[in-house]
Amino acid sequence: MSRGSKVTTYTIGHAAKAAGITTPAARLYEARGLVEPAERTPAG
């Protein structure tokens, strides 16, 4: 990554809505290993 570039982050709710699924479904897919776990911020 080049210096000064920004990374866009999304809440699980925004990501789920963009994918057309519910937040619980997104969490289930992550728990079952169907998608790679997201990086977590220090806040959680």
Which residue type is seen at 28? L
| Residue of higher predicted confidence among 2 and 15 | 15
For residues 24 and 20, what is the distance between their CA atoms, to the nearest angstrom? 12
pTM: 0.69
**Cβ–Cβ < 8 Å for 24, 31:** no
Q: Is the confidence at residue 1, as pLDDT, over 60?
A: no
Summarize pLDDT for 18-39 with one digit per residue, the tens: 999 999 999 999 999 999 887 8
